[in-house]
Structure 1
Amino acid sequence: SGLYSVLADEPADISGMEQLKLGLRFVDMKIKTARGEFVGMVSLEEMNAEAISNAILQVLEELGLNLKTLAGQGYDGCSSMSGCISGVQARIRKQQLPALYFHWASHHLDLV
């Protein structure tokens, strides 16, 4: 019910298959601290902004998260993720404008 941010990275695995790795950041009100949770990996047939944003939105829906409480997005700086017109962050902001995008420079450390 609280605000959360989605973090995603899309490296290829050792076989060359594209995997979308997803994590969430949120405030755990029980212990009054920010937490990060790895929520899963999704295999992608295509590596374009439309396929990636659809996969992210589908996972959020499956987790029962309200899109209206999505406050932030963190991705690497590649154009398919960060593009301000048709990148993943732009596509998600079309549905939830306040979901600010941040270039997530430490994404390699968090989703290992």
Structure 2
Amino acid sequence: MTRRGRRQKAPWSAPPVDSDDGSEATHIPLPIQLEWLLTKTDNLEDLVRFLAEELSVNPFKEYLDTCTCSADATYLSAGSVDQLLTCISNKLEIDILETARNQSCIAILADETCDEGNLEQFAIFGKFPYHGSTEHFLGIVNFENITAKGLMDTISEFLLAKGIDIEKVMCVAFDGCNTMSGSVKGVQRLFRHQSVYSIYVNCRNHKLALCFKHVMKGYSILQETDACLFSFAKLFEYSAQKDNVLRNIQEVKGENVLEPIKPLVTRWLTHKDS
């Protein structure tokens, strides 16, 4: 890791977090400490020293103890930033996965999507208690086989790679498409072949979105209104220049600055053939 532009050591102190009974908290989760630090400084060297000296992250500690490079350095090279983010990501993932493996039961949430390059991906989340939070991002995995068996194999291999016992999964949540929700050959059925007592819950947001969509099919004026609002939102969402113009017009007129409402992210919305 490169060091350029050294600054004076920052006066570290823990963020003000108290326990439920009013006494001083004995442990502050790492994500909270990092978030607090990033609000106090924009210097990457401060962040590195915080990780090394306050959190005792060994790779950073060893580096600072043995580094013999110039004293006027900063941690601003792209390579240093990438390495630092990788270290933080690995640290958070190790802690979260270790907690997940020690649970008696967990829930898995998975959603399939397709990026702009037509690459099929699965975003997988876990639901279990950890530092007061119950939902945790576990990872994104690419796949080619979009059949129920292919998706099930992808989930199984992902959990195996993360060291999570699939038999501990007592609840699974997918969207409502037939491939995922099928009671005979869907992923939720195949999941019960490996975790006998797992319960399937489908995405209520998708179902609710489809209810509105099916109502709109009978009224052309509603379809046109939906398309108009969607286009209006995209006009300002994808153009920072147009968004600034809209904001400036409201400020000049002395009005409260309002942001355009974003469309629901459910891909089934704005699809007339849904």
What is the aligned partner in structure 2 of residue 24 from structure 1?
126
What is the aligned partner in structure 2 of residue 98 from structure 1?
197
* Deviation per residue, 1:44-94 (Å, 9 max, x gap): 112111111101011111111112211100000001001111111100101
SS, match of residue 126 in structure 2: strand
Matched, 1:11 2:99: no
Q: How many residues align?
A: 106
More helix by share: 2
TM superposition outliers: structure 1 runs of 4+ over 4 Å: 106-109
Identity percentage of aligned residues: 27
SS, match of residue 114 in structure 2: coil
More strand by share: 1
Q: Which amino acid aligns with 1:72?
A: C
- Note the C-alpha offset of 1:5: 0.8
- Note the C-alpha offset of 1:106: 4.8
RMSD: 1.8
Q: Which amino acid aligns with 2:109?
A: L
What is the aligned partner in structure 2 of residue 61 from structure 1?
160
- Structure label with greater radius of gyration: 2
- Paired with 1:61 and 1:17, the residues of 2 have a C-alpha distance of 23
- Note the C-alpha offset of 1:105: 2.9
- Paired with 1:68 and 1:74, the residues of 2 have a C-alpha distance of 16
Matched, 1:41 2:140: yes
Structure 1 unaligned spans of 5+: none
Question: Is contact 1:19-1:43 (8 Å) kept?
Answer: yes
SS, match of residue 158 in structure 2: helix
Question: Is contact 1:4-1:27 (8 Å) kept?
Answer: no
TM-score by length of 2: 0.37
SS, match of residue 191 in structure 2: helix
TM-score by length of 1: 0.85
SS, match of residue 139 in structure 2: strand
